[in-house]
């Protein structure tokens, strides 16, 4: 028998390992940015072309590498951060597994330029499919510049599975934000296709959060800071009004490393209980510092999922810290006269109250109005009072006069009782109203709104219960589909165009969506510096709600999730229909309800919303008869 087990060649082994570490361009962005942070850089540049498929380049001014280190860093499991097994459980740096650069070199063409601080010359290395093609000395700035070109050029199947440029760019921006948020003391820039998307100056954590999430959060952040011997928690949570229906503004960092933790997210949701709707998500940027021995970060290739040695303690502490911060925000502010020195100069504070001033004040009408005789609880028994006739109010011969055309007044008049009737048998005004309502005949064809969420409409065989939001979503979806396939929708021009400032990531996304949005009735123009001018919106959007409509559309599109891969235009239409549909909780007039019913059953598929949710449920008289026996 011949032996059949062989060792894989290094290039194939590296490609297999790369499948765990480098899943898309954003994975390489994360690894390269973390290496730049670990190198002690104070300025980091990220340059992207073609959403990372053509180029991902990171330039830093860190400590650089020697010629030997520059060559060794591309070997598998080569790292400067682990010497013994104990080091694996005391990691405080970012990258540490020693596979990132080897994996990147296995699926792309890499160019590295690096120079140690204080050195006269640097090192240039060119690697193609894990093989070193060139290594020589070069002249370069202090620090490191590493460029990853033509990702997956040697694995075409992997490249075919990459998504659209817009989707891949969103992932890159997410990874960039997560690293930049954790290190506000470092200057970060992001350039995509020669256009600068982010320029983040060094500053405080709050300045970094506002620079990334938007200036409108400046006055809407609540500071969180709690310190114990076990762990420290600090950062910011958004005020309840900043909560959104979609995810995206939730950040957890453990020892400056971004993590995803549904368990700790549940603790935040509990802290916000009864302050925000149950289907909304609060904003938070929270940092947890604790001994690395209490956490295991090497449980996932991307290191975004970690384990704590005592999760219950973490849960309770996070929830308590957020609740405490929100309680401080909600308390009534107290007056502190020391804050304004001018108050100390007022006569009422600086000058004494003399006896002459006291005597003068006693004789004023204002003082007399606060004497004992004028208090609300004092009853003057000596003076003649009309209260002696108070029993007449209950006399059967003197009914309380009801206001004209006042139903409640008439019912109270009809329901008055004699003093001899027992209290427990006396009918209340509320019960009288209920009885009258039961006797009232209404037009049975008029639809009725139930809990401002459903529409009840009678049909020949029984009745149907319509979900107003799902029904309106189906109506808008088919309307937008006709606009794309047949003729563009009408645009309602704004009398006064509005400017719409957006975060850089949202601005880049909106720029790619402009052609499709114009077909759907939006009239938008780029105005520079991540700002757009809104000149018009679809005719069915309420005037004055233009900005909220576009921001909501972007949120829906960014968080669009579906198992099947659908074209971007289809995602946009579904997101727009969802965003502009009538929400649950909105009161509708009879005419509005009837219009929804008529338009729903004029649709080609009236029984389901675009996402598959039922729009209505029918109840037959025969089924009702069975239910009631």
- Per run of 10 residues, the mean pLDDT along the chain (length 629 residues) is 75 65 86 91 95 94 91 75 57 59 87 92 91 91 94 83 82 92 95 89 93 85 90 92 80 90 90 84 92 68 66 88 84 40 51 69 63 51 48 45 42 39 41 38 72 91 92 92 81 83 76 83 83 84 73 76 63 84 89 92 90 90 88
Nearest to 580, CA basis, from 508, 532, 530, 521 = 521
Across-strand partners of 500?
532
Which part of the chain has CATH 3.30.230.10? 212-330
pLDDT the model gives residue 163 = 82
Instruction: Supply the pLDDT for residue 563.
Output: 46
Predicted pLDDT of residue 552: 79
- Name the residue among 133, 15, 35, 20 with its Cα closest to residue 78: 35
Nearest to 186 by CA among 160, 204, 209: 204
In angstroms, the CA 493 to CA 546 distance is: 11
Q: Whose CA is closest to 195, among 169, 213, 175?
A: 169
Vertex 140, ends 139 and 142: CA angle to 5°?
130
Task: Compute CA distances 210 → 183, 203, 220, 261, 393, whole Å.
Answer: 14, 11, 10, 23, 64
- State whether residue 188 is helix, strand or coil: strand
Structure tokens that stand for 557 in this block? 């599109």
Neighbouring C-beta atoms of residue 374, cutoff 10 Å: 9
Please, where in the chain does CATH 3.30.565.10 lie? 10-203
- The model's pTM: 0.65
Using H for helix, E for strand and C for coil, what is the string for 458-487?
EECCEEEEEEHHHHHHHHHHHHHHHHHHCC
Please, which residues bridge with residue 296 across strands?
A: 307
- In this structure, CATH architecture of domain 212-330: 2-Layer Sandwich (3.30)
Give the model's pLDDT for residue 385. 47
- 456 contacts 448 by C-beta, under 8 angstroms: yes
Q: What is the CATH number of domain 454-619?
A: 3.30.1370.100
Residue 124 has phi, psi (to 5 degrees) of: -120, 130
DSSP state of 374: G
Instruction: Give CA 225 to chain center in angstroms.
Output: 21
The H or E element spanning position 330 is helix 311-330
> What tokens appear for 185 in the block?
């003391």
Buried b / exposed e along 435-468 (16+ C-beta atoms within 10 A): eeeeeeeeeeeebebeeeebbebeeeeebbebbb
Chain CA centroid to CA 396, Å:
63
Per-residue confidence (pLDDT) for residue 443, from 0 to 100 = 52
Q: What are phi and psi of 54, to 5 degrees?
A: -95, -40
10-203 has CATH 3.40.50.300 classification: no
pLDDT value of residue 407: 41
* Sequence-ordered list of residues with C-beta below 8 angstroms from that of 500, at least 6 positions apart, any chain: 524, 531, 532, 533, 534, 546, 547, 550, 551
CB 229 within 8 A of CB 275: no
Look at residue 190 in the predicted model and tell me its pLDDT.
94
Q: Which part of the chain has CATH 3.30.1370.100?
A: 454-619
DSSP 59-108: EE-S----HHHHHHTTSTT--SS-SSGGGGGS--SS--SS-HHHHHHHSS
């Amino acid at each position: 028998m011949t032996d059949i087990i062989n060792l894989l060649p290094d290039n194939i082994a590296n490609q297999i390992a790369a499948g765990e570490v480098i899943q898309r361009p954003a994975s390489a962005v994360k690894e390269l940015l973390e290496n730049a942070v670990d190198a002690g850089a104070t300025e980091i540049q990220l340059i992207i072309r073609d959403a990372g498929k053509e180029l991902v380049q990171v330039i830093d001014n860190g400590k650089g590498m020697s010629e030997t280190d520059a060559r060794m860093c591309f070997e598998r499991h080569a790292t400067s951060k682990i010497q013994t097994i104990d080091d694996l459980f005391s990691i405080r740096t970012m990258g540490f597994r020693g596979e990132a650069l080897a994996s990147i070199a296995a699926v792309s063409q890499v160019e590295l330029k690096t120079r140690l601080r204080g050195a006269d010359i640097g090192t240039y290395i060119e690697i193609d499919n894990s093989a070193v093609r060139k290594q020589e000395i070069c002249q370069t700035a202090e620090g490191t510049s590493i460029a990853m070109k033509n990702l997956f050029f040697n694995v075409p199947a992997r490249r075919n599975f990459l998504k659209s440029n817009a989707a891949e760019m969103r992932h890159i921006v997410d990874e960039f934000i997560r690293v930049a948020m954790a290190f506000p003391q470092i200057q970060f820039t992001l350039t995509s296709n020669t256009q600068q998307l982010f320029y983040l100056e060094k500053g405080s954590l709050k300045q970094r959060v506002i620079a990334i999430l938007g200036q409108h959060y400046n006055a809407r952040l609540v500071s969180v800071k709690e310190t114990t011997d076990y762990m420290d928690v600090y950062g910011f949570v958004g005020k309840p009004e900043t909560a959104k229906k979609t995810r995206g503004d939730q950040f957890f960092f453990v020892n400056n490393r971004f993590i995803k933790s549904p368990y700790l997210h549940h603790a935040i949701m509990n802290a916000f209980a009864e302050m925000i709707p149950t289907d909304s998500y609060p904003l938070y940027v929270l940092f947890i510092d604790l001994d690395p021995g209490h956490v295991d970060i090497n449980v996932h290739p991307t290191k975004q999922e970690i384990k704590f040695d005592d999760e219950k303690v973490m849960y309770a502490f996070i929830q308590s810290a957020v609740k405490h911060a929100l309680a401080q925000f909600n308390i009534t502010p107290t007056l502190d006269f020391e804050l304004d020195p001018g108050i100390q100069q007022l006569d009422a504070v600086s000058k004494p109250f003399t006896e002459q001033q006291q005597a003068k004040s006693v004789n004023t009408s204002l003082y007399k109005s606060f004497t004992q005789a004028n208090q609300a609880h004092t009853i003057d028994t000596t003076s003649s009072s009309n209260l002696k006739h108070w029993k007449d109010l209950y006399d059967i011969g003197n009914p309380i006069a009801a206001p004209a055309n006042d139903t409640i007044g008439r019912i109270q008049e009809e329901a008055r009782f004699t003093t001899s009737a027992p209290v427990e048998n006396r009918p209340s005004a509320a019960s009288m109203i209920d009885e009258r309502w039961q006797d009232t005949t209404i037009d049975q064809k008029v639809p009725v709104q139930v809990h401002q969420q459903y529409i009840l409409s009678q049909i020949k065989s029984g009745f149907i219960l319509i979900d107003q939001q799902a029904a309106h979503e189906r109506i808008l979806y088919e309307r937008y589909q006709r606009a794309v396939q047949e003729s563009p929708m009408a645009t309602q021009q704004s009398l006064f165009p509005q400017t719409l400032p957006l975060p850089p990531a949202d601005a880049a996304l909106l720029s790619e969506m402009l052609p499709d949005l114009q077909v759907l009735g939006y009239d938008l123009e780029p105005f520079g510096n991540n700002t757009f001018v809104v000149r018009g919106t679809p005719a069915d959007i309420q005037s004055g709600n233009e900005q909220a409509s576009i921001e909501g559309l972007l949120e829906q599109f960014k968080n669009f999730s579906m198992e099947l891969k659908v074209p971007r235009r289809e995602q946009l239409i579904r997101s727009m229909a969802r965003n502009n549909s009538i929400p649950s909780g909105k009161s509708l007039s009879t005419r509005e309800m009837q219009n929804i019913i008529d338009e729903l059953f004029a649709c080609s598929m009236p029984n389901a919303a675009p996402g598959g949710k039922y729009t209505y449920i029918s109840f037959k008289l025969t089924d009702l008869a069975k239910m009631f026996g």
